[in-house]
Chain A
Amino acid sequence: EAGVTQFPSHSVIEKGQTVTLRCDPISGHDNLYWYRRVMGKEIKFLLHFVKESKQDESGMPNNRFLAERTGGTYSTLKVQPAELEDSGVYFCASSQYRDRKPMTQYFGPGTRLLVL
């Protein structure tokens, strides 16, 4: 079974540009999460989709970040315009439900974003 995949693996952009990250969850996983690790800090939650709906976006840093999951399959996270502090590793994770609770989250390899 294929795991969570993310694209691109690396992205280097200039401040003010736009970048779109993509995540393909494990097939059949309704839950899709985005997390971010900024250098020197812990991994932090950004948002959670259940199918195509945003369940919780309390971790999104500001309105320069836009996440979508049209059709409830893959998800995109767009940063526009990018700022220097957006640099970090963006992880996507997916999980199933059991007894109405999310199960183990499986992480993708991450996208390393560097904003210059």
Chain B
Amino acid sequence: RKEVEQDPGPFNVPEGATVAFNCTYSNSASQSFFWYRQDCRKEPKLLMSVYSSGNEDGRFTAQLNRASQYISLLIRDSKLSDSATYLCVVIVYGGSQGNLIFGKGTKLSVKP
């Protein structure tokens, strides 16, 4: 079983749509959670951290359910510039001292 699993997509949505991505992680000792964004042939960039209480950054809302080991990302009012691959990422602290564990990513394509 993969450590972090995501639906690879692609998600093809029109501008203005609301789209939700889900992610599950296998290690219950995971302690930190993130969504990264990766544009085509570019490096991953941190989009937002994810907290149990849920957190929002403009049009983006992230949620964590530790009991179900499930992370979500909601994008409202999609823009063309949101087209990218969204990577679900966790950290298990301890011996590994903070290395990131990535999912394969979910590809989003926002169309006019």
Contacts and interface: CB of A to CB of B under 8 A. Distances in A.
Given A42-B103, A42-B105, A91 B43 contact: yes
Interface stretch (A13-21, A54-62, A65-73, A78-86): A54-62
Contacts of B102: 35, 42-44
Secondary structure dominating the interface of B:
loop
B10 interface: no
Interface size class for chain A? 20 to 34
A95 B99 CA distance: 11
Nearest to A112: B41
**Interface-centre pick from B97, B98, B99 (highest chain A CB count, 10 A):** B99
Secondary structure dominating the interface of A:
strand
Contacts of B98: 31, 48, 95, 101-102
A101 B93 contact: yes
B20 interface: no
A107 interface: yes
A48 B97 contact: yes
Interface of B: 2, 4, 42-46, 87, 93, 95-105
Interface of A: 31, 33, 35, 41-45, 48, 50, 55-56, 58-59, 91, 93, 95, 101-102, 104-110
21 contacts: A33-B100, A42-B2, A42-B105, A43-B87, A45-B96, A45-B101, A48-B99, A50-B97, A56-B95, A56-B97, A56-B99, A91-B44, A93-B100, A95-B98, A105-B46, A105-B100, A106-B46, A107-B44, A107-B45, A108-B43, A110-B43
